[in-house]
Amino acid sequence: MSSSAVATSELALLRAHAGRPWVETLHEWVTTVDHKKLGLMYIGYALLFLLIGGIEAAIIRIQLAIPHNSFVSPQVFNRLFTMHGTTMIFFVAMPILFGFANYLVPLMIGARDMAFPRLNAWSFWTTALGGLTLYFSFVGGDGLYGAGSAPDVGWWAYAPLTSTAFSKGHSTDYWTIALLVSGFGSIGTAINIFTTILCKRCPGMKLGKMPLLAWLNLVMSGMVLLAISPLTAAQIMLMIDRYLGGHFFDTQAGGSAVIWMHFFWVFGHPEVYILIIPGFAFASEIIPVFSRKAIFGYPVMVGASVGIAFLSMSVWAHHLFTIGMPSYSNAFFVLTSMAVGVPTGIKIFNWLGTMWGGKIRFDTAMLFSIGFLVQFLIAGLTGIMLAVAPFDWQLNNSYFVVAHFHYVIVGGLLFTIFAAFYYWYPKMVGRMLGDTLGKWHFWLFLIGFHLTFDFMHVPGVLGMPRRIYTYEPGRGWEIWNLLVTVGAFFQALGVLCFVINLIKSYFRGAPAGNDPWDAWTLEWSTSSPPPAYNFATIPEVKSRRPLWDIKHPEDPDWKYE
Amino acid sequence: MLNSLLNIRAARSVRIIVLFVAGLLWAAVMAWANTGTGPQIPNIFAPESTPAHEIYIVSLFVMGICIAIFVVVFGLLAYSVVKFRRRAGDDHREPPQVYGSNQLELAWTVIPVLIVVVLFLSTARVIHEIQDAPPPARAVRVTVVGHQFWWEFRYPQFGFVTANELHVPVSDTKNPTPTYLTLLSADVNHSFWVPRLAGKTDLIPNRANHMWIEPRETGLYLGQCAQYCGTQHAKMLLRVYVDTTAQFDLWVQKQRLPALRDPSVTEGRRIFDSTACVNCHTVNGTGARGRFGPDLTHLMSRDTLASGAAPNTRSYLRLWIRNPYTIKPGALMPAMNLEDEDLDRVTAYMLTLH
């Protein structure tokens, strides 16, 4: 069936749906096992929590704009930073990345759906339940001592602050259970992505011929399978301590606060690589298309990604440089933390090599990708600085670290996520996102990002610790905090433009067609949006860029790979 | 390349970016000039003690390397974005497809590995120098106990306990007298951070950590708790007074004495001794032996109250005793609900504890 014939029949189906009762549509979405619908639900869910987490950040920044401010009480502030961190990592970043993976992986490997569609649905709803549980704490956290509300123990929930002696009521339990439950959702999706990539590739697509997005999601899923269990185990032990008379982390009874730290960071550090690796995936698909060149060094990119995955499992105690480990332990983690920078740098050089000699088009997706490259470079370098343990003895737990990790997650990951939206929204919705609003989004957000997170490094250097609801005047922190807060509002305006663009383009965006970017991977061979069955016939591929081969029969990739 | 930068139409966005970055840098320099220097600024790049100084040196080295890497890579990125952009009269043919280069991959693997080796070795040396330095015999020893939300300082060599404001002698390079700190916690995790004197080390319950400082200049150094410990983590401030040897000896002598016995505040002392105050506080030479809260024997020798949350004046002291939540909501000292006259008497008693 030709692509236009497919599009016409799809349009006919849509027209038939137009008169459907909304209950039927709702039922279809709630019971769906289609990877595309589940992907969109993950993304929509994450966007909602992005707005909530952003409001939490805005309140934090208003409170910190001037010293001795009283915009919120210390109790509320402590809940806000705990919820901001927990929300952004577990209910924004993870779901949005699982959402994109869900949508794109089957399409890009020429499959009709994920390997386990029902597990897919179960995983989404379980993750969603976790987020709702966490936010229910605002109203339901009152426990026996009326000391409840949202958790206020920081997103790492260090022991023994989380014991019943120091955290009364149920606020800590909401943190524990929400993450425990959503952790199962993450494991389910990881199993699904892993199996789908290994078992459901179309004919001709050997592992060495699949898109880098598939490789990177394979690596990410493997890491999820390894990294989530220590957190789950620690959370179960914490519940045993709190309710069943256990003393794992109860230092008053001989338990160990340090053991919680190790369990948490054995999860926590791989977790942040789990977050950034799909960001690398987006960059690896988008930068080649808008440079009009194949990705530079595909085999090395695969090797570096796998190398990062393994090495990142060995660095966790760089979060623990200040807890009093012996000098040789500290030195070991210095070495591994610096070593993981080598494959990461190699990836940056390969993206640069992709752009080199190309014909770069500055569509909004590419603007965000270039922003990612510069910002991720800076973030990696501040990471190398923090890997120098004695330097970390000064900077750990200060605003320098807060600036560093926001540089990675916002300046790195979020920029690639925005790029992914501009790139794949046309495929998902069938309409282009507006270009003018897109440029406003980019420039407003870029200005806000740099105002906030460039200047945020300075209070750290000047001795300002993190997680403080107010600070003393006269320490030189005031002007920097004010600038940081101003930047937050530019970012909010940028995100507002983005949300308006998403909604406006859904109704009035220019029709996208199958392949608006003249790209080369399989998802661009179907209609926009794709039919439920993805491909009328399962494609057969000969190279890493099947559509390049079709568009350039005189110069196909498989001659050179 | 300069020619294309001067081409107004094509390079307008480049010029905007350059202007914006220049604006950011100017703002940064202006703000730094106004606030980054000064004795009360706990600036990690203004070290006044041996460990802080050693950290400063190695940090300059690593920052230099990182800045060099940034300049090179960013320069190449900026160049490629300008040089390889699609031009207006483009013929829409695809550029030559280059799939990789083994030599380049080797080069940009080997060079970073070498940088890592150099950085690791310099770092390992500093770790060893700071962490494994044995205390000399003349070292002053202080045991620091972290509490929610105040600092207990015990001087085992001299037999007294104080709170929140640490006094140490300045160290002479010819006859060094560093101060060695043993770090303990009575409840949750804390962290001792006075940036100009040393990197931070955590206070972890059920674990003894160790650190040392060797201040070279007298003065007051500011810091605060650097590990989130609960509601009032933000106001668990640190003041370290580096005294001359003579000043330090005098201070120690006074701290060793029991509480001054002023007959004009007998009534206030009676109220203090017979209510819940003695459950938490110690006043040496009286019956008050509580250990949950700070030792008050020499309260008036301190400049601040509540671990730096308020100046140590009569009105703040009275306010604190009346209701700590007005100064530090979430502090573990409850409001004592004293009648006004009793409150005045207890405050008067506290004011005699020099």
Intra-chain end-to-end CA distance of chain B, in Å: 73
Intra-chain end-to-end CA distance of chain A, in Å: 30
Please check whether residue A14 touches B, CB under 8 A: no
CA distances from B59 to A315, A385, A408, B69, B98 (A): 20, 7, 21, 15, 39
Domain region containing B333: 263-351
- Can you give the pLDDT at residue B4? 46
Q: Could you tell me if residue B335 is inside a domain?
A: yes
Determine which helix (DSSP H) or strand (DSSP E) holds A299, and give its type and residue range.
Answer: helix A298-312
Q: How many CB atoms lie within 10 A of CB A552?
A: 14
Does residue A9 belong to any structural domain of this protein?
Answer: no
In chain B, which among 101-120 make CB contacts under 8 A with chain A?
101, 104-105, 108-109, 112-113, 116, 119-120
In a domain, B235, yes or no: no
Is A265 within the bounds of a domain?
Answer: yes
Contact A393 B201 (CB under 8 A): yes
Contact A360 B204 (CB under 8 A): no
- Tell me the C-alpha to C-alpha distance, in Å, between residue B204 and each of A252, B150, B181, B191, B291: 11, 15, 14, 8, 19
E strand or H helix at A275: helix A257-291
Cβ pair B242, B217 in contact under 8 A: yes
CA B187 from centroid of its chain's CA atoms: 20
Q: Assess whether pLDDT exceeds 90 at residue B272.
A: yes
List the Cα angle A87/A89/A95 in 5-degree steps.
90
CA distance B59 to A109: 47
The rounded distance, in Å, linking the Cα atoms of A324 and A341 is: 25
The answer as to whether B314 is a domain residue is yes
B44 touches chain A (CB under 8 A): yes
Search chain A and give the residue with CA nearest B114.
A342
Report residue B30's pLDDT band, with 50, 70 and 90 as the boundaries. Answer: low
CA dihedral A147, A176, A45, A228 (to 10 degrees): 160
What the block records as the tokens of B197 is 């004197």
Q: What is the mean pLDDT of each run of 10 residues along chain A (561 residues)?
A: 49 62 94 98 98 98 97 96 98 98 98 98 98 90 61 97 93 96 98 98 97 98 97 98 97 96 98 98 98 97 97 98 98 98 98 97 98 98 98 98 98 98 98 97 98 97 98 95 97 98 97 97 97 96 97 93 79
| Rounded CA separation A69/A470 (Å) | 7
- Helix (H) or strand (E) holding A240, with range, is helix A212-243
Predicted confidence band at B92 (pLDDT cuts at 50, 70, 90)?
Answer: confident
Structural domain boundaries enclosing A102: 32-559
> CA A410 to CA A395: how far, in whole Å?
20
**Which residues, 6 or more positions from B11, have their beta carbon under 8 angstroms from its beta carbon?**
B4, B5, B82
Mean pLDDT within B110-126: 98
CB–CB contact B231 A461 (8 Å): no
Q: Which of A77, A84, A322 to mutate to test the interface with B (most CBs of B within 10 A)?
A: A322
- Asked whether residue A438 is domain-assigned, the answer is yes
Length of chain B: 354
Asked whether the beta carbons of residue B308 and residue A468 sit closer than 8 angstroms, the reply is no
Residue A14, domain member (yes or no): no
Kindly list the distances between the CA atom of residue A92 and the CA atoms of A97, A128, A228, A426, A501, in Å, as whole numbers in the listed order: 8, 11, 17, 22, 19
Instruction: Using an 8 Å CB-CB cutoff, list chain B residues near A257.
Output: 188-189, 204-207
Q: Residue B238: name the closest of B201, B292, B284 by CA.
A: B201
Q: B34 pLDDT band (50/70/90 cuts)?
A: low
Domain contains A27: no
A462 contacts A484 by C-beta, under 8 angstroms: no
> Is there a domain that residue B277 lies in?
yes
A81 Cβ neighbours under 8 A, 6+ residues apart:
A56, A60, A154, A467
Give the model's confidence band at B174: pLDDT under 50 very low, under 70 low, under 90 confident, else very high: confident
The residue among A277, A276, A442 whose CA lies nearest residue A362 is A442
Number of domains in chain A: 1
pLDDT band at B23 (very low <50, low <70, confident <90, very high): confident
Q: What is the pLDDT of residue B89?
A: 85
Classify residue B282: in a domain, yes or no.
yes
pLDDT in tens, B286-320: 989 999 999 999 999 999 999 999 999 999 999 99
CB B29 within 8 A of CB A479: no
pLDDT at B36: 53
Q: Is residue A20 part of a domain?
A: no
- Residue B284 domain-assigned (yes or no): yes
Residues of A with CB below 8 A from B108's CB?
345-346, 349
Query: What's the CATH number where A478 sits?
Result: 1.20.210.10
| ipTM, two decimals | 0.94
Alpha carbons A344 and A348: distance in angstroms, whole number: 7
Residue A254 lies in a domain: yes
Q: Is A538 left (phi over 0), alpha (psi -120 to 50) or beta?
A: beta
- In the predicted structure, residue B102 carries a pLDDT above the cut 90: yes
> How is A378-437 classified by DSSP, letter by letter?
HHHHHHHHHHSHHHHHHHTTBHHHHHHHHIIIIIIIIHHHHHHHHHHHHHHHSBPPPHHH
CATH code, domain with B289: 2.60.40.420
Q: In this structure, what are the phi and psi dihedrals at residue B208, rounded to the nearest 5 degrees?
A: -105, 120
Number of CB pairs, chain A paired with chain B, less than 8 A apart: 301
Domain membership of residue A19 (yes or no) is: no
Q: Which residues of B touch A555 (CB under 8 A)?
A: 97
**pLDDT tier at B6 (50, 70, 90 boundaries)?**
very low
* Contact assignment for B205 to A395 by CB distance below 8 Å: no
User: Is residue B158 assigned to a domain?
Assistant: no
Q: With 0-12 CB in 10 A as exposed, 13-18 as middle and 19+ as buried, what is A223? A: buried
The span from the CA of A247 to the CA of A176, in Å, is 17
Tokens of A389: 């343990």
Tell whether B201 lies on the interface with A, counting CB pairs under 8 A.
yes
* Number of separate domains in chain B: 1
